[in-house]
Amino acid sequence: MFRLKSLDATPAAIINPALKPNPIPGMPLVECSLAEFIAGQPKGFTHVAVSAAVFHEDRLLLVQRAESDSYPGHWELPGGSADPSDKSISESVARELFEETGLRMKRILTEILPPTTFSTGWGKRQKTWLKVNFVVEVTAEDKARVEHEVKMQGSGSGQELVRKDSVIVVDPPAIKLHDKEHQKYQWISAEEVIKNRVAMPGEGAMEFISMDSVSVMLEAFRLNKHIQKAQAIEPLQEAGTEDSKA
């Protein structure tokens, strides 16, 4: 089983990491079909699962599994199995994110490495899964909504209906859960993930679906910090380039 170094990281190292030049590695296989993706992996994996880490500022979106599902009440990242009908792994991520949260993926920002593995079933029905996880950006439509107002303007015979559209920022993005799979959602901080991970039985802590999933969450927080810093620097670099041209 893969383990992530961030499992043993301190809160300060996760929340305020040192800046690295480029946090977004190349991901040549995310646009491949499921069959092509599996062919590019070590032998033994028969199925692929995906998950999406969505951030609102410094908080990560988690969903709680329904009581009627396996691992009832456990918390996890939105995600599920990659289907052969999906054109690519990227499409699998976008589809699962939309099905489980109603959010539309704009793009994958980076992969959360390394992937994790797990098995389901027994004997001849056993399936060996490779789970690949990504930090993603959702579309602007999920961060805002348009409200329409129609009213009469003018007087007498000169009255007319006028429509006014207003863009209202949704803070944080609105979530629409798939009620058969998940029952609650929460935007959680890195400190809260760590606190719940080390909580003792009976303390009312959130139950995560696995320790590997906690590793992925903490690595996602680290990567998100790098992405935020890189995005903050980009406008300054562009401004410097324009100044040098002038």
Rounded distance between C-alpha atoms, residue 5 and residue 8, angstroms: 6
pLDDT on residue 163: 61
Rounded distance between C-alpha atoms, residue 152 and residue 132, angstroms: 54
Phi, psi at 189, each rounded to 5°:
-90, 165
pLDDT on residue 86: 96
pLDDT on residue 97: 96
Highest mean pLDDT among 10-24, 59-73, 161-175: 59-73
Nearest Cα to Cα of residue 78 among 192, 223, 184:
184
Q: What is the CA radius of gyration of the chain?
A: 22
User: Which two structure tokens, joined as six digits, stand for 142?
Assistant: 């999920």
pLDDT band per the 50, 70, 90 thresholds, residue 7:
very low
- Using the predicted structure, report yes or no on whether residue 3 has a pLDDT greater than 70: no
Rounded distance between C-alpha atoms, residue 240 and residue 219, angstroms: 32
- Using the predicted structure, report yes or no on whether residue 153 has a pLDDT greater than 50: yes
- Using the predicted structure, report yes or no on whether residue 73 has a pLDDT greater than 70: yes
Determine how many CB atoms are found less than 10 A away from the CB of residue 10.
Answer: 9
pLDDT band per the 50, 70, 90 thresholds, residue 159:
low
Determine how many CB atoms are found less than 10 A away from the CB of residue 240.
Answer: 10
Please state, for a pLDDT cut of 70, what percent of the chain lies above it. Answer: 68
> If you write DSSP's letter for every residue of 61-79 in order, what string do you get?
EEEEEPTTSSSTT-EE-SE
